[in-house]
Chains A and B, each alone.
Chain A
């Protein structure tokens, strides 16, 4: 019984040879032109949809990074401008 289970867990020798052949060819191609296969990661990532569980959460941004003035700063500027305009009221 044990023998049967062990045998079932192993591949047919021809199948194993085929895997070896393909893997060797794949490795050869990867060594020859690695950039080509690295770039596939970029293409795959670009096609991957963001998780819907994560999409709704606020993004974590790099510290100190900002696209010009923040919302609050802009509002302060607007208020200051308005205050200047009504100084004489």
Chain B
């Protein structure tokens, strides 16, 4: 019997642990297919995940093992174990299964059981479907922010967030198109976790909101994600002159880069938690059954106004502090949920000059990290005012409305909506906001520029 030398043992160890695993990269290659809850996605040459047409996956390049034991868990060691299990499984092949009636496409390897696509799609070849068909089958959320299918005068959905009248579940969190790999990973992690633990996460956020007089704000729900708060990093600094926080650069980078990708799930959590609070309020005495709702464009000052006057939020049992990005599409939902529970709602709207607030939004990002994309910013003014006006006109007898304006840099309460808020063209404003990003690019941290212009990749360049 020959004993191995130490060198041979070490060489074997290196081969077993590292070289065998070297081909298994964590970063997916172009053409690979990945299974998310919402379907199968393949990575294109630009590094973006695009849906596999018809939900059908390309078995040849599938990242999941086609047969044998489940996916390897626990890194390299886990992969080794999985490989060994697979080898053992190969030595003892299972009894042949009865072929399925429609399993014509599958050769030896059984599919990894994605939800069954429609029969027509299942029969189609997986390689290269026609472009048009791929678009039709897209599972991404790409609403027209002006469409009002239910005819209530208010658009049904904004580009980001969940549809105005919905608080999923039921239904899943919408997934945005054209995200880059990191954004998609973040979006999927947040959304998948919420879809599996909706009540639990809404309860967690309800506790967060309770500490702030039950103010429900979509952006606040993003803090449930460790990638947003980054508890692994050292604490933030403090500006000795102003006393304001100086964010750790990696925290700042994450909040600017990931804001858009996280918005949908954060919105779903905030809405679900808000409903839980409304359920609590419905059993309160009548004088406590009242809430506030704010609307207005991004960085228009509504949230800051609430913070500046805490008496406002403490005068009611809850506040829905809508994100400007929602384009005031949630108001019919809020009113409907309040009516069901006998709760009074007061809707506040702030009109502002977006050409003044966009530089403010960019400046704000330098302080808080969170950066709103120029496209959704433009929508918030171009569509938000019109949506709110239609909502007011239809429901002025059912709720209270307060109109404010900060358009000329001065706060005023107006009897009606500032007419200028209805004149804003979303496309023109997008062009303006996008051009501003170019002007400022050389002076901006790259992550703020990236966060403010992500919409070009997601929804397209200004026309």
- Chain A contacts to B: CB under 8 angstroms: 6, 8-11, 16, 18-20, 22-31, 34-55, 57, 59-60, 62-63, 72, 75-76, 79-80, 82-83, 86-87, 89
**B227–A9 touching, CB < 8 Å:** no
Determine whether B456 belongs to the interface, using a CB cutoff of 8 Å to chain A. Answer: no
Complex Cα gap A28–B254 (Å): 31
Which chain B residues border A47 with CB–CB below 8 Å? 211
B389-418 CB mask vs A (1 if < 8 Å, else 0) is: 000000001111010101001111100000
8 contacts between A and B (CB under 8 A): A31-B410, A42-B244, A45-B223, A45-B228, A50-B224, A53-B200, A86-B10, A87-B7
Complex Cα gap A1–B316 (Å): 26
Q: Given contacts A30-B301, A42-B367, A60-B182, are A20 and B410 in contact (CB under 8 A)? A: no
Chain B residue nearest to A48 (CB atoms) is B223
A13 to chain B minimum Cβ distance, whole angstroms, is: 10
A65 to chain B minimum Cβ distance, whole angstroms, is: 8
Report whether over half of chain A's contact residues are helix, strand or loop; otherwise say mixed: helix
Complex Cα gap A42–B366 (Å): 12
Interface residues of B in 1-17 (CB under 8 A from A): 5-7, 10-11, 13-14, 17
B343-355 CB mask vs A (1 if < 8 Å, else 0) is: 0111010100000
**B305–A54 touching, CB < 8 Å:** no
**B309–A26 touching, CB < 8 Å:** yes
Report whether over half of chain B's contact residues are helix, strand or loop; otherwise say mixed: helix
**B189–A42 touching, CB < 8 Å:** no
Interface residues of B in 176-193 (CB under 8 A from A): 181-182, 185-186, 189-190, 193
Chain B residue nearest to A41 (CB atoms) is B368
Q: Given contacts A10-B400, A72-B18, are A27 and B411 in contact (CB under 8 A)? A: yes
Determine whether B212 belongs to the interface, using a CB cutoff of 8 Å to chain A. Answer: yes
**B201–A62 touching, CB < 8 Å:** no
Best-surrounded residue of A11, A41, A86, A89 (most CB of chain B within 10 A): A41
Complex Cα gap A43–B229 (Å): 11
